[in-house]
Amino acid sequence: MIYLDNAATTPMLADAVGVYQKYACQSFYNPSAGYREAQDIAKQIKEAKERLLVKLGATCGDIIYTSGATESNNLAIMGSRRNGKWEYVFSVGEHPSVYNVAKELEMQGFKVHFVGLSSTGEINYEMLASVVNEKTRLVSVMHISNETGAVNDIQRIVGVIKDKARNALIHVDGVQAFCKVPICLNAFDVDFYTISAHKFHGPKGVGALYVKNQKLLKNIVFGGGQENGLRSGTENVAGIMAMDYVANQIDILSNYNKVQALKACMVKILSENKNVNIFESKSPYILSVGFKGVNGETLMRALQDQGVIVGMGSACSAKKSGNRILESIGFSKEDVKQRIRISFNSFLSEQEVAQAGKTILKVYNEIWEKVK
Ligand code: PMP
């Protein structure tokens, strides 16, 4: 089986299982308890946060551990909501864990602006500039698109926002970027940044939210007051420590170069067929491809029988018809139906990718011959 849906999730690093097991079975104490063993765990979590801040390139701010990106995104947006005539700004390219929070804010009566995408898949920077104003409370824009691999220019976005709304908070969903591209939050100067462990070979159900100034955030769940009151609930210690381990194993630049070669190999093979429509995007990890005349879902199902697993865009929204993200870029409804998403990880070999590419073309041609 050649697995090419790494934007949906990645296999956990086998070495991290030992770390997980250590904190689940031996060092299993509740970090909120008062005895020495438990306090030692609390100290280790604190040290893991410091390592994560370094990895994020942040010399100030804090980390709040969560159950994953969906929770981090909800916390950043809902936790910075305030009463009054505030406005919120989102790109239409956001993952449902941001987009549906935006829809909820709209339902609650807040003014919410949705900014479209340009033909590169990035947010439309001019449109962003036209909606941000002094009443803007928060802007939420993803770093790298999970659908297309388009990379938003975060520094440019922050510049546009600060120009018009000095006090607006800025949240970035960095799920498809963290541990894949170098990140320097000091340079980005954003207020919140979301990460999720299972997208970079960590366990599922654990993630984090970087928070520049905790005073600007309110808790959205109520309980025992863990994580400085911002995320009550006993910490997922084993998940946190396994995520910490994995993040510190990853060599971002070496993986980036390797994956770039894998994507180039796939693009070269698929481009041999003129019916194949490659969407050029900057992230080497994600490739959106269209196949003339053939439904993407049909192709995906046929491919799984041939040992190749590909995605259909965001797994969380794969069942919904249409795709607001691809349509905003300019794809017709017909084009959208014909697309699949191929996403890589650094453990794949070039031979595997080449074999998968050839299989994709073969399977596509077989279906095309029947339907054309
Ligand atoms: N944001 C983006 C960009 C994603 O790709 C995903 C996962 N598909 C999420 C958020 C949600 O992540 P999690 O599964 O950790 O809740």
Using DSSP, state whether 98 is helix, strand or coil.
helix
Instruction: Reply yes or no on whether 265 is catalytic.
Output: no
Residue 339 Cβ < 6 Å to ligand 1: no
173 C-beta closer than 6 A to ligand 1: yes
Please state the separation of Cα 220 from the chain's center in Å: 21
Give the position of tokens 């000095």.
Answer: 166
Q: Separation of 177 CA from ligand 1 center, angstroms?
A: 11
* Active-site annotation holder among 60, 179, 265, 316: 316
Q: Ligand 1 center to residue 76 CA distance, Å?
A: 14
pLDDT of residue 314: 53
CA 37 to chain centre: 35
Closest alpha carbon to 63 in 157, 156, 178: 178
Instruction: Give nearest CA residue, ligand 1 atom 5.
Output: 146
For the record, the structure tokens of 307 come out as 């040992």
H-only helix segments in 92-153: 96-107, 125-131
Q: How far is the CA of 285 from the centre of ligand 1 (A)?
A: 15
Alpha carbon of 319 to ligand 1 centroid (Å) = 16
Are the C-beta atoms of residues 55 and 45 closer than 8 Å to each other? no
- Residue 313's pLDDT is 66
| 129 Cα–ligand 1 center, Å | 26
Nearest residue (CA) to ligand 1, atom 7: 8
Residue with tokens 């067929």: 273
> Nearest Cα to 342, choosing from 274, 255, 263?
263
Index of the ligand 1 atom closest to the CA of residue 7: 5
CB of 144 shorter than 6 A to ligand 1? no
- Name the burial class of residue 223, with classes exposed (0-12), middle (13-18) and buried (19+) by CB atoms within 10 angstroms of its CB: exposed
Q: Which token pair is 169? A: 């908070």
Q: Is the CB of 143 under 6 A from ligand 1?
A: no
Low-confidence ranges of the chain (pLDDT < 50): 315-316, 318, 321
The answer, yes or no, to whether any atom of ligand 1 lies below 6 A from the CB of 316, is yes
pLDDT of residue 323: 87
Judge if the beta carbon of residue 140 lies within 6 A of ligand 1: no
Give distance in angstroms: CA of 284 to centre of ligand 1.
Answer: 18
Residue with CA nearest ligand 1 atom 9: 69
Strands 169-173 and 192-196: parallel
72 lines ligand 1 (CB under 6 A): no
